[in-house]
Amino acid sequence: MKFAVTSRGDSNSNTLMQKIRTYLMDFGLTYDEDQPDIVVTVGGDGTLLYAFHRYRSRLDKTAFVGIHTGHLGFYADWVPEEIEKLVIAIAKTPYQVVEYPLLEVYIRYINGGRESRYLALNECTVKSVEGSLVMDLEIKGQLFETFRGDGLCISTPSGSTAYNKALGGAILHPSIEAIQVAEMASINNRVFRTVGSPLILPNHHTIVMKPVNDVDFHITIDHLTLLHKDVKSIQCRVAPEKVRFARFRPFPFWKRVRDSFISD
């Protein structure tokens, strides 16, 4: 089996990365940074997000497992003291794999057929460069509302505990194939009106955001922020691809939520 290890880059995570690499090679596994079957991340959720994007083109062939060297992560749920146990479990293939839904984002541009496709593990956010964001929202091809406010956040179920949660969105179990749309400070008065509640869209339902005035936006895909100019539309739906996590012990989602946000 081929493996790769990525680190957040701090000295603690780097030391741990070296140890894991040596241990796994001692077990006869092959280190392959380009085509790994399993990727071990050492750091936090951000390190796992980074690794997800690095191996985006081979998601069907790669499984991820995360170790956290800071506070408990949502994706990074192993602690440094457990690495020997984890290494033995990895070496003893086959392991169980759980799959979580992803968000597919298409950004299309004015003048020309150019389009960009992105996959998000957590979410995509859209904010204007200046002033309020004003967007027509279409759901399944029908105008739903004209949004005015700070921005919009479209998240995956596993990303629902990240930015989406801070916006008052619901926490979704990752077995639900859906995406969630959450508002950032919408303007609601006698003139402007939005639904005001987070929306949960099932698989195959598409939401399209179409600019009303400005056509330049700050769009984030997980940790990545880009300025997109001359945007015609932003389309979001559940992606056909999934992310695969290697599971070596049960860690139910609701326990993870409790340990992260209530008490461990």
Least separation in angstroms between residue 102's CB and ligand NAD is 12
Rounded Cα distance between 123 and 173, Å, is 15
Contact 105, 118 (CB under 8 A): yes
d(CA 55, CA 82): 25
C-alpha distances (whole Å) from 50 to each of 41, 56, 66, 120, 148 are 9, 10, 12, 11, 31
Question: Which among 248, 237, 222, 253 is positioned nearest to 47, based on CA atoms?
Answer: 222
Residue whose CB is less far from ligand NAD, 20 or 153: 153
Minimum CB separation of residue 166 from ligand NAD in Å reads 3
How many CB atoms are closer than 10 A to CB 143?
11
Q: Does 185 bind ligand NAD (CB under 6 A)?
A: no
Q: Does 45 belong to an annotated binding site?
A: yes
Annotated catalytic, 264?
no
Using DSSP's 3-state secondary structure scheme, residue 205 falls into coil
Residue number with CB closer to ligand NAD (31 or 261): 261
Q: Is 222 in the site for ligand NAD (CB under 6 A)?
A: yes
Instruction: Name the β-bridge partners of 201.
Output: 179
Residue 57 CA, distance from chain mean position: 15
Count of residues near ligand NAD by CB under 6 A? 16
Q: Are 172 and 160 in contact (CB under 8 A)?
A: yes
Contact status: 169 vs ligand NAD (CB under 6 A): no
Catalytic site residue from 45, 136, 230, 264: 45
Considering only residues 53 to 112 of the shown chain, the ones binding ligand NAD according to CB under 6 A are 73-74
185 is in an annotated binding site: yes
Of 108, 127, 223, 242, the one binding ligand NAD by CB under 6 A: 223
Contact characters 114-143, ligand NAD, x per CB under 6 A: --------xx--------------------
Judged by CB under 6 A, does residue 231 bind ligand NAD?
Answer: no
Residue 61 structure tokens:
């062939």
CB 209 within 8 A of CB 59: no
The radius of gyration computed from the CA coordinates of the chain, to the nearest angstrom, equals 20
Which stretch, 18-26, 43-51, 180-188, 190-198, contacts ligand NAD (CB under 6 A)? 43-51
The residues annotated as belonging to the active site are: 45
Residues in the annotated binding site? 45-46, 122-123, 148, 150, 185
Residues in the annotated binding site for NAD(+)? 45-46, 122-123, 148, 150, 185
Footprint of ligand NAD on this chain (CB under 6 A)? 44-46, 49, 73-74, 122-123, 158-159, 161-163, 166, 222-223
